[in-house]
Structure 1
Amino acid sequence: MPADLAVIGLGQLGLPLVQAATAASITTVGYDPDPHTIAELRAGRLPAEGGCGGLTAADLRRMLSSGFRATTEDAELGRVRTAVICAPVRLGENRALDLGAIGAAARTLAARLRPHTTVLLESPVYPGATEEYLRPLLEEGSGLIAGRDFHLAYSPSRHDPGNRRYHLRNTPRVIGGLTPACTEAAAAFYGRFCEKVVRARGPREAEAVKVWETNYRHVNIALANEMAVFCHDIGVDLWDVVRCAETKPFGFQAFRPGPGVGGHGVPVDPNYLAYKGRTLGYPLRMVELAQEVNGRMPRYVVQRCAALLNEHGKSARGARVLLLGVGYKADIADQEGSPAREVASRLLELGAQLSYHDPHVTQWRVLGRPVPRADSVYEAAAAADLTVLLQHHRTYDLQGLAVKAQLMLDTRGASPAGTAHRL
């Protein structure tokens, strides 16, 4: 049976969109070129590595029971009214965005594209990519003209995995169409399951929204991380500083430090976003600096680990170190860009004996080797020379763990004051 919607790319962007659409009774087909991904979804299992936007197996079963179909057959794409490209985007060489997956999705869709279809892009891209990169691929492959024969628009994904308050329905949806008619077509689609639609002037403005939102997060976390190092060096309790500062009702938003920045939100510097050789000729200096500050936090955490062990008469070499929480975000399994991997790698290079615990990650490999998973977190903390909290999952009783642990470093400032060493 023909579907109303095709979601192209069934990962951390596509699956939450499918969930919202099927909940709104929109007949949905999901296309992904990976046969393994499709086989897993059809069997009611989420793909490995947790890159599923925080969905659970129960969520997937509800989607399937609502009529969601997952396929590798591109013929399905030619029978829908709306197609949304949710292909993954990562940093390639020289920190340039790798749009290869978007290009592959566009070529597949173009071969099946029919007139009057609405095509939407949600993947993170540089301003101008919808018009300069996606549009030509769709037009060349289909023989149709965007804005005349089919609608084309960009809408930045704002999905926040694990967020229990904000989800796709109650998070305002920004859209920017190639033409006013394209914008209205996109608004009509998203309005079926989003409470509020915000119209941008065009696709470039909508694309720039994503750049600003992601860089805003990275720059402010970098400031928090710099303050963490500074306050530790001068003997100031940073976490008390944050507690007091966030009482200011205006002109301040609290960001907290941590062991590094992970996730799928790529910090974007326009200097690295050249298409066909066109560059601005200068970087966003704040973004560059934020990348540098956040990128050195895993190394700083390992330095703190070694210093704490040394203060207690132990060497990092041979020390038993337990890492708690290896995903990039609390309460989900997704490990994309998680600083835990670099922290673990550096500890292994120092000769530490590692184990880990994460209620959402059953297997974990570092430097090509499996890291032993602790069955009982309390017993593992008691046996370890050092326990390091890298991600604060709701299931962790940090006061109880701090009592059991011989020595504990809390990189999230989540433990009660005085119960553990904090970043």
Structure 2
Amino acid sequence: MRVVIVGAGQAGASLAAKLRALGHDGEIVLLGDEPAPPYQRPPLSKAYLLGEMEADRLWLRAPEFWAENRIELRLGQPVTSIDRAARTVTVGGAALAYDHLALTTGSSPRRLPAAIGGALDGVFTVRTLADVDAMRAEFRPGRRVIIVGGGYIGLEAAAVAAKLGLDVTVLEMAPRILQRVAAPETSGFVRDMHEAHGVKVLEATALDRLEGDRRVKGAVLKDGRVLPADFVIVGVGITPNSQLAEAAGLAIDNGIATDEMGRTSDPFIWAAGDCASFPWQGGRIRLESVGNAIDQAEAVAANILGAAAPYAAKPWFWSDQYDLKLQIAGLNTGYDRIVTRKGEGEAVSFWYYRGGELLAVDAMNDSRAYMVGKRLIETGKSPAPEIIAGTGDLKTLLKA
């Protein structure tokens, strides 16, 4: 049985490795459209951009792993179409047959329209190794950078720029940074930290356009202000790479729609990672995280081999900014109450409740709160909010 995997990111690499680990002895072909071997994305906007990590430390596996495990790794070869009837994909102009096909195509950053300056030189996104390589030379002390978007990617880039001595301005059109993903308490904590490092955070501030002849030289805001810039980083979210699946007639619903096993609307095609949406608590969800990419891909690998085990997502995320390690467990959708718990020193955690149900935890430099919160959420336990807000040892809650 030949398994073809389209997309050589975290999910694709994990799926291929898990197939072999589970004893699959047939062919595995892993197709990547980038020239680099499968690599970690999180360090790109942090350690790699700072110059603290070399490219070869980004690789998910040692170069010899793929050959030793008989995984055919084809790089720089985008797949252009899927023929479901013939069970082939077109790559490099030739048809490649599959018995099972896994789509781990990931996601792409949203870009500013060319009509408002998005195509000017000096305007960057942060998603691939090539993206970061293209902008690294811009990070020189004293230069002015405008970051459009106050989400995690933009804020991580802002932290790197501030640490390297740049003049940094973050533009967020929503009333607060991180509004889509975090409570006001977390937003405020992160905003205060950035401002303490000299970053100008402009919330409820919309961009009208970028200006410049061929290269960007500034940003014009909706209120008429003009901010000078030597370069601009755009961090306004990502979209799932579902175009290939959609062209093949697969069901699309906020990404490539799968069932609880990871199977698409075609019984011989599967999907995992950023590109895939799946059933969740009576609805459908798509998770953008390394943890989900690995766990879902490994679940799909097992199901390709016949495990027939529903994927049980355990959402968790993290972000590193300056000396802050923000760790997030669970999903905060629908929360109606935030409980604040002070940790040791400057550590603090914010606990999301809906009624009496614990939904999620944001832990700032508080790994104990994160670990305990994650365990509580995964086991369905919801301590009373007043207990969380107290000063007792959190670990005792796991024994209750």
Q: TM-score, normalised by structure 2?
A: 0.32
Task: Compare relative contact order (CA 8 Å, sep 6+) and give the higher one, 1 or 2.
Answer: 2
More strand by share: 2
Higher helix share: 1
